[in-house]
Structure 1
Amino acid sequence: MIFSIRQLLTTETLKMAKILGGKEGLNNEIKGVTIIEAPDIVRFINGGEVLLTGLYAFKSSSLETFKGYMDALASKSVAALIIKRGRNVEFSERKIEMLVNLAEEHNMPVLEIPFEISFKDIMSLIMENLFNEEVTKLKYFKTTHENFAALSLSLNTSENGIERIIDVLSKLIDNPVSVFNYNKVCLSTTNEDINNLKINDTAEQVEIGFYSTYNYLRQRIIIDGNERNQYLIYLNITADMKGYLVITEINDAIDTMDYIAIENAITEILHECSRQYAISEVEKKFQNDIIYNLLNGKIHSKDQLLKSTNLLDMKLDGNYRVLVFGLQPARADVYLDFDSKTQHTNFLNDAINMYFENARIQNDIDRIIVIQEVEANQKEEDYRKEIKIIAEKVQQYIKQHLKELRVKAGIGKVVSGIINLPKSFKEAKDAFHFADVAIEISNVGISRIILFSDLGIFKLLCQIEDTNTLLEYIPQSLQKLYNYKKTQRDDLLLTLKTYLERNQNLKKTAKDLYIHYKTAAYRIDKIITITGIDFENPSEVLAVRIGFIVHKMMENLNSDII
């Protein structure tokens, strides 16, 4: 017994359907069903299918191109076309009119349904009438696989393929879908209310009823005051690229058919992510090379400069400043190896990409370099407030993932014209260098953001890159302490530094160092004996304070961290 379009229209699901054209084909036999999410689906059609579409696959097609697609579908003897409006499609009314004409010509019914009717419900209804349970699963797997394959074939390089894939999946399972990277930053979502991810300790593994190479976790979350199921699938894309596919059960309960659609979507998401990763790596390498040459003054011709600015989409005569960001351990006993620095810098890169607009960003292993376009007439105090807010947001993001680290940054002055970027970059590096020193010798806040214009006298010291010359700015008294016996030197240096920070208050110094007052007094007396520092002489005390800073700058130069 055949299942026809006429019989389909008698079901509860399709009772609100309106026949736009092709009534002569209502007795057409239904042999299958699929959703049109890409024009290329025509190559997967065998004939006799009911096609479901919101016309979004043809949203930018010209009328002539659209007619070509429809003629190709009609030549496959499609059983019927079911459409629903509601999305932004160019020439939608004219395209529907063309469909109606095609329907009359080929006896291919065109039905319109209300937007709220789910395509998933129609697919389930048709398959239940055509096949037994096992065949239905196989047919559904084939249908969803072909749909996602056709979608992948239709994507162009400028299109957000992941967004298109999860949009199709969301329609198939009638629930919101989101994709997050490994750092739990939302890359794409079909529901803007679901753009945060937290994996609970109570998340449990789910058996989906058939073999899968992916692990499904389910957890309970609260959305709009209601407790919902949320499903998480870990995506291992490349060695450097991982993430999560997240499905939140808001409308329908996830069933076996949904898992089939999810499996096929994952395959295409992995393909698309791999494609995007390959493209981004090439672009990143190319862009990084251009940025490196711009920042280091290695572009020597006007033609090369024009080409570089065009490739980066930057203005030749724009106003820019350079910022150098990095991460600093909150405690002196926290050591970061090379791999840790690289991984943590990736977190920092994610945060900076989130909060900086109109900027070019370069990941430079253990630091992030930002070229920020700014208003030429912006007041320094206004920019200081703006960058402080951004830095606090970046710090909050880092704190969620890396509690033991804090953000530091050096910021160069505004330069006019892209040719002058090396000057701002040098200033940003100098300020970044001093930020590292400032964190070492003080306890001022969780993050440290230094503008080059704030360096004062240290601008002069930043110009000196020879450690022997810098050594001349460390008073002989302090040099004697640095050269003292190593077994005692570190305690004495820490005591002296703390003593100066506490304005030569022995009681506060002892408290900060968790030592007895008499021990602190003994150490200060010993420091006086070794160095001859006169703590009653303000000029000498200031020289020692500066000496500590210069010594730290020398350490940084020797370790070549900049």
Structure 2
Amino acid sequence: MGYTIKDFIDSHKFPGMKLISDNSEINREIKGTWIIAVPDMEKFLGGGELLLTSLMVYKKLDERMMLSHLEELNKKQVSGFVVKRIQNTAQQNKLFETLLRFCNEHSIPVLEIPQDLSYWQIIKYLLLQVFNIEIAKAVYSKMTRDEFNRLFLEETSESRSLENLLDKAGRIFENPIALYNEDLHYIYSSTSDKSDLIIIDDNEKYVPNIISRYEYMRQKRKNVEYIRKINILNQCTYYLVVSEVNESLRELDFITLDSLMPLLLYVLTQIVTDRNIEKNIIEIWNTEC
């Protein structure tokens, strides 16, 4: 038997997590973990996964349709659910009641976590319990790429995409992330800190222990910082910085950076290109006038 729901509960890794269903099937093996991102999540599962959800993905469905999807998940022999109440509304309470009733009828364990506990903290922990490190890195790479791509496809404004991409990355890291321009001035931070970046002289090159095209500068000020210098069209330079404020960065965190980087490069390129077009239009206008 591999890593089970009972093992997860007994780890006491996440204070505030509690079993809210009956405990008849807590020896179910966890064979993976995913966030329920779409109502028909069953189409993307291999079987035996522990699913994380606020249930809001089902908010536009009636009870019959929700139960239909839960039936399909049960056919996949999911190991259980980890749920989070992000709203205290009649609608979400009804969704929780439907899920809990279904899971008790089918002896599927349901764990509840506090609002401030990140799904990604649980994902990073569980993948390393369920898989060896190489498989965990491959699965996590797909999960983070999918997460950023899904967020990006929902956006229409480059500036808003930039903010949301970095905000999402900060929540996955559970550490501050910030972006600075070539003069080291603040552009974005996931915290309230808007101070300029300082790059110290004795920073060192850092190459993470993953298959990656990227390397970083590593420096220690108040906290350890990892800095990625980004050149856009040989015209603009940006600095992306992740700081080890809450916990040390590990291999899976650098995979998150690898997943983020292509979309970040695309958005920054769009911003620089739009700026050049605007500049050229102004120059043409001034010349003609």
Assess same fold via TM > 0.5.
Answer: yes
Aligned to 1:9, the other structure's residue is in SS state: helix
Task: Please give the alpha-carbon distance, in whole angstroms, between the structure 1 residues aligned to 2:219 and 2:281.
Answer: 34
For structure 2, list consecutive stretches of 5 or more residues without a partner in the other structure: none
Q: 1:94 to 1:211 in 2, by over 3 A?
A: same
Give the superposition deviation at 1:85. Answer: 4.2
- The residue type equivalent to 1:364 in the other structure is I
Q: Which residue of 1 aligns with 2:59?
A: 63
Contact 1:41 1:150 in 2 (8 A): no
Aligned to 1:52, the other structure's residue is in SS state: strand
Q: 1:170 to 1:180 in 2, by over 3 A?
A: same
- The residue type equivalent to 2:173 in the other structure is I
Task: Please give the alpha-carbon distance, in whole angstroms, between the structure 1 residues aligned to 2:161 and 2:105.
Answer: 35
Aligned to 1:157, the other structure's residue is in SS state: coil
Q: Provide Cα deviations, 1:353-382, integer angstroms capped at 9, x if missing partner.
A: xxxxxxxxx972499xxxxxxxxxxxxxxx
Contact 1:208 1:256 in 2 (8 A): yes
The alignment's TM-score, normalised by the length of structure 2, stands at 0.75
Q: Which residue of 2 aligns with 1:258?
A: 253
Task: Please give the alpha-carbon distance, in whole angstroms, between the structure 2 residues aligned to 1:116 and 1:187.
Answer: 26
Q: 1:47 to 1:240 in 2, by over 3 A?
A: farther
Give the superposition deviation at 1:11. Answer: 1.3
Q: 1:214 to 1:133 in 2, by over 3 A?
A: closer
- The residue type equivalent to 1:140 in the other structure is Y
Task: Please give the alpha-carbon distance, in whole angstroms, between the structure 2 residues aligned to 1:229 and 1:111.
Answer: 34
- The residue type equivalent to 2:72 in the other structure is S
Q: Which residue of 2 aligns with 1:157?
A: 156
Q: Which residue of 1 aligns with 2:282?
A: 364
Q: Which residue of 2 aligns with 1:32?
A: 32
For structure 1, list consecutive stretches of 5 or more residues without a partner in the other structure: 222-226, 289-341, 343-361, 368-428, 430-559
Give the superposition deviation at 1:165. Answer: 2.9
- Structure 2 counterparts to residues 322-361 of structure 1, below 5 A: none
Q: 1:84 to 1:181 in 2, by over 3 A?
A: farther
Contact 2:210 2:255 in 1 (8 A): no
Task: Please give the alpha-carbon distance, in whole angstroms, between the structure 2 residues aligned to 1:13 and 1:186.
Answer: 35
- The residue type equivalent to 1:220 in the other structure is K
Percent identity over paired residues = 27
Q: Provide Cα deviations, 1:371-428, integer angstroms capped at 9, x if missing partner.
A: xxxxxxxxxxxxxxxxxxxxxxxxxxxxxxxxxxxxxxxxxxxxxxxxxxxxxxxxxx
Q: Which residue of 2 aligns with 1:49?
A: 49
Task: Choose between structure 1 and 2 for higher RCO, CA contacts under 8 A separated by at least 6 residues.
Answer: 2
Task: Please give the alpha-carbon distance, in whole angstroms, between the structure 2 residues aligned to 1:281 and 1:26.
Answer: 55
Q: Provide Cα deviations, 1:118-150, integer angstroms capped at 9, x if missing partner.
A: 544433432333222333333332333333334
Q: Which residue of 1 aligns with 2:238?
A: 243
Give the superposition deviation at 1:39. Answer: 3.5
Q: 1:50 to 1:189 in 2, by over 3 A?
A: farther
Question: Whose Rg is larger?
Answer: 1
Task: Please give the alpha-carbon distance, in whole angstroms, between the structure 1 residues aligned to 2:94 and 2:103.
Answer: 14
- The residue type equivalent to 1:75 in the other structure is E
Give the superposition deviation at 1:233. Answer: 1.2
Q: Which residue of 1 aligns with 2:143?
A: 143
Contact 2:33 2:50 in 1 (8 A): yes
Q: Provide Cα deviations, 1:419-469, integer angstroms capped at 9, x if missing partner.
A: xxxxxxxxxx9xxxxxxxxxxxxxxxxxxxxxxxxxxxxxxxxxxxxxxxx
Give the superposition deviation at 1:5. Answer: 1.5
Q: Provide Cα deviations, 1:297-353, integer angstroms capped at 9, x if missing partner.
A: xxxxxxxxxxxxxxxxxxxxxxxxxxxxxxxxxxxxxxxxxxxxx7xxxxxxxxxxx
- Please tell me whether residue 191 in structure 1 is matched to residue 191 in structure 2: yes
Q: Provide Cα deviations, 1:11-69, integer angstroms capped at 9, x if missing partner.
A: 12146422234655534321112345x438936433322233456xx4xx682249767
Q: 1:132 to 1:75 in 2, by over 3 A?
A: same
Task: Please give the alpha-carbon distance, in whole angstroms, between the structure 1 residues aligned to 2:220 and 2:15.
Answer: 36
Aligned residues: 283
- Please tell me whether residue 170 in structure 1 is matched to residue 88 in structure 2: no
- Please tell me whether residue 229 in structure 1 is matched to residue 219 in structure 2: no
Q: 1:63 to 1:210 in 2, by over 3 A?
A: closer
Aligned to 1:247, the other structure's residue is in SS state: strand
Task: Please give the alpha-carbon distance, in whole angstroms, between the structure 2 residues aligned to 1:3 and 1:20.
Answer: 20
RMSD of aligned residue pairs (Cα, Å): 4.1
Task: Please give the alpha-carbon distance, in whole angstroms, between the structure 2 residues aligned to 1:185 and 1:40.
Answer: 42
Aligned to 2:197, the other structure's residue is in SS state: coil
Q: Which residue of 2 aligns with 1:6?
A: 6
- The residue type equivalent to 1:218 in the other structure is R
Q: Provide Cα deviations, 1:97-124, integer angstroms capped at 9, x if missing partner.
A: 4433443455443311234545444334
Q: 1:95 to 1:264 in 2, by over 3 A?
A: same
- Structure 2 counterparts to residues 84-103 of structure 1, below 5 A: 84-85=84-85, 91-103=91-103
Give the superposition deviation at 1:167. Answer: 3.1
- Please tell me whether residue 203 in structure 1 is matched to residue 121 in structure 2: no
- The residue type equivalent to 1:207 in the other structure is V
